[in-house]
Amino acid sequence: MSTQSHTAAPIRLGTRRSALAQAQSGHVAAALEKISGRPVELVPITSEGDTNRASLSEIGGQGIFATRLREALLAGECDILVHSLKDLPTTIPEGLVIAATPVREDARDVAITRGGTPLHELRTGSKVGTGSPRRIAQVHRRAPHAEVVDIRGNVDSRLQRVASGELDAVILAAAGLSRLGTDSPLRREELGLSEWPTAPGQGSLAVETRSDAPAELLAALAELDDHDTRLAITVERGILEGLDSGCQAPMAAHAVVDGDEIRVRTVVYSTDGGRRIGLDVTETLNGEYIRRNGSGNGADAAGGADPMRTAREFGLSVAHRLLEQGAADLVSREHSSS
């Protein structure tokens, strides 16, 4: 395949092999083909997260799906990657850039049951499946009499464990279900973001490429980028980054851009769900928070405002407030008793 003829050369999109990863990569591929006028081909890559069956809470969810894909991108095996943003560590490796964050899908979690019993009404001893430390803590709070079962596996296998009666409920991301177009007789309970905030970046995709990618590829990817989505996830990831060094407890953060304001809801939980520290903060997107190419307080030496840098700093300041309120202490009891 010659990369000389830019008009015809396919754009190679690296993706995990799971049905969900291929589905969400397919959505991006279709949009990019329209913008660029070039075919986009999927390059399936096996990540550690796809082969290591250990619990996510043991091996650490962050990065296990991304590392192998990023190695392939840096080695030139593909031209772009599509990630679920919530799986990406906050540090972007040297030589790579998140070139687009398309419009965010539904950021909520859903509880899936056979009969539609709400999570908080599940009987004592009911089995609820999830492998996420955040969701485990939230289930403990919402359904304290239920038993949490640590599970891995793709969406279909999780749904099957509910359908078969092995589990009474599983917690899944709404965005994943809609991207897969899953048609199931099982019942869904949407979990509201005010009481059940989700992981930083949940519902969002990140399109990553090399910093030295051809200008026309970067320009095509820029057309996929949604400014408000990027602002919101930059705040959320700023909170995660700020907590990372000071707090290993399960956490959630969800930000929304509404007119000239950005609102963020963030909670840090103890691992058993018994305690939590939460903040709701609203910032105005003017002055420091200039959205596009304005000048003023947010202007820096590069000329023009950098709203993303300011959004990250806002997230870091929220994390600092959480730590001041004792967020890092939420795991200390569990760690000292082990």
List, by residue number, the catalytic residues.
87
Question: Is-contact 48 183, C-beta < 8 A?
Answer: no
For CA atoms 195, 199, 201, 203, the dihedral sign is negative
- Cβ-proximal residues to 160 (8 Å cutoff; 6+ apart), any chain: none
CB atoms within 10 A of CB 76: 10
Let me know the angle formed at the C-alpha of 286 by 282 and 292, rounded to the nearest 5 degrees.
115
**Letter string b/e over residues 83-116, b meaning 16 or more CB atoms within 10 A of that residue's CB:** bbbbbbbbeeeeebbbbbbbebbbbbbbbbbeee
Residue 7 CA from chain centroid, whole number: 33
Question: Is-contact 242 251, C-beta < 8 A?
Answer: no
Torsion angles phi and psi, residue 83, rounded to 5: -115, 155
- Cα separation, 29 vs 153, in Å, equals 25
180 CB-side CA count, 13 A? 17
- Cα separation, 288 vs 308, in Å, equals 11
